[in-house]
Amino acid sequence: MNLQRLDKIISSQTGISRKEARADIRRGLVSADGNTVKDCSAQFDAEKSQISYKGQALNYKKFIYIIMNKPKGVLSASNDRTRKTVVDLVPEDLKRNGLFPAGRLDRDTTGLLIITDDGDFAHRIISPKKHIYKTYMAELDGEVTDEMKRVFANGVVLADGTVCRPAELTAYNGNCATVKICEGKYHQIKRMFGTVGLGVNSLKRTAVGKLRLDEDLLPGQSRELTDRELKLIFKN
């Protein structure tokens, strides 16, 4: 049995603070198993008890997993005092405390971003040791050569001496290319192309593992991932 305080359950599932949850509980806005509960410290098994908040039944989920089509100009962060973040864009019905991006995209990079509150899950995606490849589409200021592909495949050495893991570089359509990497160093792809004399005009992440970006999502839109999609993340 997984007992939790009622105020913690309400806060975790609605995105309001624990303080706000306690105030609403005391006002009689929360019921459990058909009975109004005003004791904030009362404990329940959220997966078995029927808990309602403001008359709406809570569909309790221990963790949430969200796919977003990240737009340009938004920070991959949980919060920022002055700039808009990806968590700010999550719709109200998916918001809850503790959300964060599982791996960051540069501010001007767009595409597939996963947002969650499950730290272990995020670590499995981010850790290079797990070999979860991320696929990017890059528009370049020049054409990719076979020598550049070889350099990427052998592991690019960045200007500061940092050695990158082997990456797969595929050219198509003139000055466009796809890149697959299993790590996420600061501005890594732009720096990798810089070592072979190419600049990146635009960059979009299109896949994580075998999970591809849902093209029905407009920039800034998001939705929950399905169980099938969650499994695709860990396939290469």
> Do residues 84 and 103 both lie within one domain?
yes
Residues 112 and 161 in one domain: no
**Would you state the structure tokens that stand for residue 196, as one six-digit string?**
């072979």
pLDDT digits (tens, 9 = 90+) for 68-107: 999 999 999 998 889 999 999 999 889 888 999 998 999 9
Same domain, 93 and 112: yes
- Six-digit token string for 133: 């490849």
Q: Within 13 A of 116's CA, how many CA atoms are on the CB side?
A: 21
186 lies in the same domain as 72: no
Closest by CA to 229, choosing from 114, 77, 63, is 114
Tell me the C-alpha distance between 34 and 24, whole Å: 17
DSSP 8-state assignment for residue 72: T
Whichever domain contains 115, its CATH number is 3.30.70.580
Residue 73: the pLDDT is 96
Q: What pLDDT is recorded for position 68?
A: 98
pLDDT at 14: 85
Indicate if 119 and 167 belong to the same structural domain.
Answer: no
Which pairing describes strands 110-116 and 200-208: parallel, antiparallel, or unpaired? Answer: parallel
Q: State how many domains the chain has.
A: 3
Predicted local confidence at residue 1, as pLDDT: 66
Residues 92 and 192 in one domain: no
Q: Which residues contact 48 (CB under 8 A, 6 or more apart)?
A: 1
CA–CA separation, 208 vs 65, rounded Å? Answer: 14
Which CATH number fits the domain that encloses residue 27? 3.10.290.10
Residue 10 · residue 53 · CB < 8 Å: yes
Q: What is the pLDDT of residue 59?
A: 86
83 and 32 share a domain?
Answer: no
Looking at the structure, tell me whether residues 12 and 26 fall in a common domain: yes
Question: Do 101 and 203 reside in the same domain of the chain?
Answer: no
> Are residues 106 and 152 both part of a single domain?
no
Question: Of 31, 57, 83, which residue sits at a domain end?
Answer: 57
Q: CA–CA distance from 32 to each of 3, 139, 227, 235 (Å)?
A: 13, 54, 28, 40
**Are both 167 and 197 inside the same structural domain?**
yes
In terms of C-beta density within 10 A (0-12 exposed, 13-18 middle, 19 or more buried), how is residue 59 classed? Answer: exposed
What's the domain range around 50? 3-57
Same domain for 9 and 116? no
Give the domain CATH number at 181: 3.30.70.1560
Q: Which two tokens stand for residue 158?
A: 């960045």
- Stretches in the chain below the pLDDT threshold 50: none
What does the chain come to in residues?
Answer: 236
Give the residue numbers annotated as catalytic, written as ranges. 106
Crossing angle of helices 6-14 and 18-26, rounded to 10°:
120
